[in-house]
C-alpha cells in the first residue's frame, strides 16, 4: 500500500462548520485533534521559545498551568504568552504547600455547589492542612485539618479524579533509640478521601509488627502496595482491610470522642484519628520481586510491569499477565508515564556516542510518541524533541530546544497539544522554565507526504 492520503484541513473545518459532526461530541473532539495533529507535524510549523523564567523554588506544570513558589503563584500557558492567573498571599514556611493534585470536574454527576464544576487544586500544606483551591482564582474552597501525630507530606491518586491518598513522612528511629534496641513499629500513615465534596474513608497505619521489615507503602486503584528492601512487592485489597480492621467510621465535621479526647473530625486541633489499625496479617493478593520495587499494574486483561531484580537489568521492563505471570513478548517498551508503546524498539534505537534518548512519553490526544534526544558537543549538550507516529514509528517532526542541556541536571519535558515546556533543576536548587508555543508560518507550504498522518 502507498502512503495514506493526507487529510485536507480546510475541508475538515468546513464540514465541522456545517454541522457534519454535531450529533456526536466525541467525533467533533477527535476531528479537532486530528486537525491539530496535522498542524503540529507539518514542516511550516515551528515551536518558538516565547518565555523563559528562573526560580529558587520548584516549578510544576499541570494541564496548561505553571505553578511557582510552592504552588502560591499560578500562570496560564494557554495564551500566546504566559499570563498570571492568581497569586496567593505570602505565608510562613510552616504553611507552604508541599504537594498538590489537579482535580477536574467529573462528567455526569450532580455536585452541591456551582464552584464544584470548575477545576480545583487539592493541596497539602506543611502544617498538615488539606485544601481545595480554585484553579482559576486561588480561593480556598474547602479545608481539612489532618492530624498532629504525624507529618503528612505526599499526595497521590488512588482512583484518578475520585479518591486521593495522603501519605505521611516515614517515622525514623533516633540514633539513641537504635543503640538501645528500640524500634519504631509504625512506618507511616495513609489518609484516604473521596473528593468533591471531601469525605473521609479512613486513616491507615502501616506497622512493621504486621508487615515485617517494610520500607514503603502506597495505594493505587484500591490496592495497598507494600514494598521491601529486597525488592519484594506485596499487594493487598484495601477494601478488605477496611471491612476487617476499621475501628470506627468517622465523618468530617462531626463530633467525636477518641482516646479520652473530644473534638470535631477534620478541624484543628482534633484532626482525624487513625481509625484503621491492622491487628493481623490481611489476605495476600499477589507478590512479585522487582529491582528498586519498580512495579505498575493496569490494562485489560490485567498486566503488570516490573524490572528484573538484578542491577544489570536496570532500564529493562517486563510486561507480564497477572493471571499466570507469563511474559508478554509482543509489548517491548514502556514510557516514563507507564503507557505501553506498541512498536518495535529498534525503530527508536539511539547511539550513545552520537546522541542518547533521555525522555520518552506518549501524547495520547494526538497519538504521538515524543522523544527527547541529546547530542553532546564538547562540554555542552543540545537537545531536540522528536515526534514519532505511535503506530509505525515514523519520524514526523523534530523541534530543537534553544537552551543547552546538561545531562547531570534533572529535567522534565512536557508536550501538551500546541505547547512544549522544559523544566530544569540546576545545582543549589535553581529551577528554570522554558516555554515553547506552536507558530504556523503561512508563507511556507508543506510538500512532504507523511505516511502516518490519519484522518
Q: Give me the chain's average pLDDT, please.
A: 84
Give the whole-angstrom CA distance, residue 431 versus residue 420: 17
CA-based nearest residue to 95, from 71, 141, 129: 129
373 three-class SS: strand
- As a whole number of angstroms, the distance between CA 386 and CA 415 comes to 10
Q: Answer yes or no: is pLDDT of 272 > 60.
A: yes
Least confident residue range of 165-179, 325-339, 366-380, 410-424: 325-339
Q: Could you give the residue ranges of the DSSP H alpha helices within 228-277?
A: 238-245
Mean pLDDT of 368-375: 91
Q: Rounded distance, CA 388 to CA 410, Å?
A: 24
pLDDT at 352 over 70: no
Does position 419 have pLDDT exceeding 60, yes or no? yes
**pLDDT greater than 60 at residue 443:** no
User: Does residue 346 register a pLDDT over 60?
Assistant: no
Q: Within a 10 A sphere around the Cβ of 252, how many other Cβ atoms?
A: 16
pTM for the model stands at 0.82
* Most confident listed range (129-133, 321-325, 341-345, 351-355): 129-133
SS3 322: coil
CA distance 424 to 61: 12
Q: Look at residue 429 in the predicted model and tell me its pLDDT.
A: 87
pLDDT at position 336 is 42
Provide the pLDDT for residue 264: 97
Is a pLDDT exceeding 80 seen at residue 6? no
Question: What pLDDT score was predicted for residue 22?
Answer: 56
Q: What is the pLDDT of residues 164-188, one digit of tens each?
A: 999 999 988 776 766 776 777 999 9
Phi and psi at residue 100, to the nearest 5°? -155, 155
For residues 123 and 62, what is the distance between their CA atoms, to the nearest angstrom? 13
Strand ranges (DSSP E) for 135-185?
140-145, 152-159, 163-168
Which 3 state secondary structure label does DSSP give 39?
Answer: helix
In the three-class reduction of DSSP (H, G, I as helix; E, B as strand; rest coil), residue 27 is classed as helix
Closest C-alpha to 104, from 157, 165, 153: 157
- State yes or no: pLDDT of 257 exceeds 90: yes
Residue 396: CA atoms inside 13 Å, Cβ hemisphere, count? Answer: 25
Q: Which segment, 74-88, 339-353, 397-411, is predicted with the most confidence on average?
A: 397-411
Assess whether pLDDT exceeds 70 at residue 455: no
The better pLDDT of the pair 454, 116 is held by 116
Mean pLDDT of 41-52: 90
Find the helix or strand (DSSP H, E) in which 6 lies.
none
**% of the chain exceeding 70 in pLDDT:** 83
Residue 113: what pLDDT? Answer: 75
pLDDT digits (tens, 9 = 90+) for 224-238: 999 999 999 999 999
Whole-angstrom Cα Rg for the chain: 25
Nearest to 150 by CA among 181, 165, 172: 172
Residue 353, pLDDT > 80, answer no
DSSP per residue over 49-65, as a string? EEEEEEESS--EEETTE
Listed by start position, the domains of the chain span 7-41, 91-282, 292-341
Percent of the chain clearing pLDDT 90 (strictly above): 51
Cell of 209: 509488627
Detail the DSSP E strand segments found in 229-314: 232-237, 255-258, 261-264, 284-289, 295-298, 303-306
197: Cα separation from own chain's centroid = 22
Q: Is the pLDDT of residue 375 over 60?
A: yes
Residue 324 has φ and ψ, to the nearest 5°, of: -140, 5
Helices and strands (H, E) in the chain, number of each type: 5, 31
- Give yes or no for residue 362 having a pLDDT over 60: yes
132 has pLDDT over 70: yes
Output 356 or 282, whichever has higher pLDDT: 282
Question: CA separation (Å) from 291 to 19, 76, 299?
Answer: 53, 39, 21
Amino acid at each position: 500500500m502507498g502512503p495514506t492520503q493526507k487529510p485536507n484541513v480546510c475541508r475538515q473545518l468546513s464540514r465541522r462548520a456545517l454541522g457534519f459532526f454535531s450529533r456526536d461530541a466525541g467525533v467533533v473532539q477527535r476531528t479537532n485533534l486530528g486537525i491539530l495533529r496535522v498542524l503540529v507535524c507539518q514542516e511550516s510549523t515551528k515551536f518558538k521559545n516565547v518565555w523563559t523564567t528562573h526560580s529558587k523554588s520548584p516549578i510544576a506544570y499541570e494541564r496548561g498551568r505553571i505553578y511557582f513558589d510552592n504552588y502560591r503563584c499560578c500562570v496560564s500557558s494557554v495564551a500566546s504568552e504566559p499570563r498570571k492567573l492568581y497569586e496567593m498571599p505570602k505565608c510562613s514556611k510552616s504553611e507552604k504547600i508541599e504537594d498538590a493534585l489537579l482535580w477536574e470536574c467529573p462528567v455526569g454527576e450532580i455536585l452541591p455547589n456551582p464552584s464544584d464544576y470548575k477545576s480545583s487544586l487539592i493541596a497539602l500544606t506543611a502544617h498538615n492542612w488539606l485544601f481545595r483551591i480554585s484553579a482559576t482564582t486561588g480561593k480556598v474552597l474547602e479545608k481539612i485539618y489532618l492530624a498532629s501525630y504525624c507529618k503528612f507530606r505526599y499526595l497521590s491518586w488512588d482512583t484518578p479524579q475520585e479518591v486521593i491518598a495522603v501519605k505521611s513522612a516515614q517515622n525514623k528511629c533516633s540514633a539513641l533509640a537504635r543503640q538501645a534496641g528500640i524500634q519504631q513499629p509504625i512506618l507511616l500513615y495513609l489518609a484516604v478521601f473521596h473528593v468533591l465534596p471531601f469525605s473521609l474513608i479512613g486513616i491507615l497505619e502501616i506497622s512493621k509488627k504486621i508487615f515485617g521489615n517494610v520500607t514503603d507503602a502506597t495505594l493505587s486503584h484500591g490496592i495497598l502496595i507494600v514494598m521491601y528492601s529486597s525488592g519484594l512487592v506485596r499487594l493487598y485489597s484495601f477494601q478488605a482491610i477496611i471491612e476487617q480492621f476499621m475501628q470506627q467510621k468517622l465523618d468530617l465535621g462531626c463530633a467525636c470522642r477518641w482516646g479520652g479526647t473530644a473534638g470535631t473530625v477534620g478541624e484543628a486541633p482534633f484532626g482525624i484519628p487513625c481509625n484503621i489499625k491492622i491487628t493481623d496479617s490481611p489476605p495476600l493478593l499477589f507478590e512479585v520481586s522487582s529491582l528498586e520495587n519498580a512495579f505498575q499494574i493496569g490494562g485489560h486483561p490485567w498486566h503488570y510491569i516490573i524490572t528484573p531484580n538484578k542491577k544489570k537489568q536496570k532500564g529493562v521492563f517486563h510486561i507480564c499477565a497477572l493471571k499466570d505471570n507469563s511474559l508478554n513478548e509482543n509489548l517491548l517498551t514502556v514510557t516514563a508515564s507507564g503507557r505501553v508503546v506498541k512498536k518495535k524498539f529498534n525503530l527508536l534505537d539511539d547511539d550513545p556516542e552520537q546522541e542518547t534518548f533521555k525522555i520518552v512519553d506518549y501524547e495520547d490526544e494526538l497519538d504521538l510518541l515524543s522523544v527527547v534526544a541529546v547530542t553532546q558537543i564538547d562540554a555542552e549538550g543540545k537537545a531536540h524533541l522528536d515526534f514519532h507516529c505511535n503506530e509505525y514509528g515514523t519520524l514526523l517532526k523534530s523541534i530543537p530546544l534553544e537552551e543547552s542541556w546538561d545531562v547531570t541536571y534533572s529535567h522534565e519535558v512536557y508536550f501538551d497539544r500546541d505547547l512544549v515546556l522544559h523544566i530544569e533543576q540546576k545545582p543549589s536548587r535553581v529551577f528554570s522554565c522554558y516555554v515553547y508555543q506552536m507558530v504556523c508560518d503561512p508563507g511556507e507550504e508543506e510538500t512532504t507526504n507523511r505516511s502516518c498522518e490519519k484522518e
